[in-house]
Amino acid sequence: MSTFAAVDVIRAKRDGAALSDAQIDWIIEAYTRHEVAEEQMSALLMAILLNGMTSAEIAAWTTAMIASGRRMDLSTVGRPTVDKHSTGGVGDKISLPLVPLVAACGAAVPQLSGRGLGHTGGTLDKMESIAGWRATLSPREMADQLSSIGAVICAASEDLAPADRKLYALRDVTGTVESIPMIAASIMSKKIAEGTSALVLDVKVGTGAFMKRADHAAELARTMVELGAREGVRTSALLTDMSTPLGRAVGNAIEVAESVDVLAGGGPADVVELTVALAREMVSLVGLSADPAQVLASGKAMDAWRSMVVAQGGDPDAPLPTPRFREVVVADEAGVVTELDALPVGLAAWRLGAGRARKEHAVQAAAGVLCLAKPGDEVRVGQPLFELHTNTPDAFTAALADLSGAIRIDPTGAAFERPALVRDVITAG
């Protein structure tokens, strides 16, 4: 491999030049080996944030991050493999019902998930609300479970795109998280390295999403779809609304309970709608003919859920954690709810203990917010709007302050028009 001086690579990007494949390969490998200083990579990340990257540069950067570790081989699983990745939102528990549903349709879903940071929840945090469930599986355990059940939700191993792990931590403390090339490369390097043959991206847009603007979300989606296509992974993306929390539960254990309701044939309409929409896209990408809506109604997805939980040491019948303290917020006016802003709801749940400010912090399984009124609902004076859950009652004050402007009620009872949950579908080519 060619050897470069880190400062020359930094200067090139600072001055708006496109980096060569050789420069990118070298700096990713050297940084992973601790041969490029943190301050030098910080400078390069800032130059990339300010000056952007060409599609060829993003592809080379993603490939180099994949090559920094192991690429999993799922060819022996015996089912077509397809995964889903969400860019994160408030009440976004979709992976929980989606993974067993797609498995029940005949696919294998290797859902390598993460933990929450800030106001967006982590899938592993939610699943760890289940007594005995474990997030860490060996590659052999993962492959065996995919073969037998078709469903896995677990943590990524340390040797999967290790360059991304270092870069992600650095971006978090250097003000460079918002770089679309880096977001795309981070997500896709891990998903491609996990060995799936197809991938559906759920790119959130709205107040509760990382991407607040539709044009930025669409750019990120197109970039990731192109990266998948370049690496031979059939990829598509759904742009979905995150201006309002998904479902009524925002937290960990309460989101598990809501997900089980969906698998049992109930649950909030928006959670069911998005779960089925993503499942249809996933089974279509791998050429399966099953109708996810029918499979969900048949109870087969619930069977797959229970098998998946048991296989990872969990007890699907164990009671979920409950909070020591609750606080209810009631309506002070009557009318129709026209807005429920996802961001303050997510922040309130975070303050109550459902999320973390730093990766090393613990979360409370029982903490969170139940949204008892959603846009389109009629409410009367004194009717409960939110129920707050926590084990630390001192957190109520800040959480209530967050929620003070979260909901808007039209006292005239004007007709409410619900925005589309799925805004667009982006495919390769």
Alpha-carbon distance of 92 to 246, in angstroms, equals 6
Q: Which residues pair with 81 in a beta bridge?
A: 108
Alpha-carbon distance of 425 to 217, in angstroms, equals 12
> CB count, 10 Å around CB of 22?
13
The answer to whether the Cα torsion of 19, 23, 29, 33 is positive or negative is negative
Alpha-carbon distance of 2 to 147, in angstroms, equals 42
3-state SS class at 376 = coil
Active site residue 190: yes
Q: Are 391 and 324 in contact (CB under 8 A)?
A: yes
Backbone angles phi, psi at 126, to 5 degrees: -65, -50
Q: Which two tokens stand for residue 365?
A: 């399984």
Active site residue 126: no
Burial class (CB in 10 A: 0-12, 13-18, 19+), 138: exposed
Given the residues 125, 164, 202, 270, the one annotated as active site: 164
Q: Are 200 and 167 in contact (CB under 8 A)?
A: no
Please tell me what DSSP assigns to residue 374: -
> CB count, 10 Å around CB of 192?
24
Active site residue 85: yes
Cα dihedral angle (13, 16, 22, 28), rounded to 10 degrees? Answer: 30
Active site residue 351: no
Q: Which two tokens stand for residue 230?
A: 């370049």
Alpha-carbon distance of 37 to 28, in angstroms, equals 12
Given the residues 84, 166, 190, 222, the one annotated as active site: 190
Alpha-helix residue ranges (DSSP H) falling in 248-349? 253-263, 269-285, 292-298, 300-311, 342-349
Q: Tell how far CA 409 is from the center of its chain.
A: 30
Given the residues 13, 171, 234, 248, the one annotated as active site: 171
Given the residues 13, 25, 68, 85, the one annotated as active site: 85
Catalytic residue list: 85, 164, 171, 186, 190
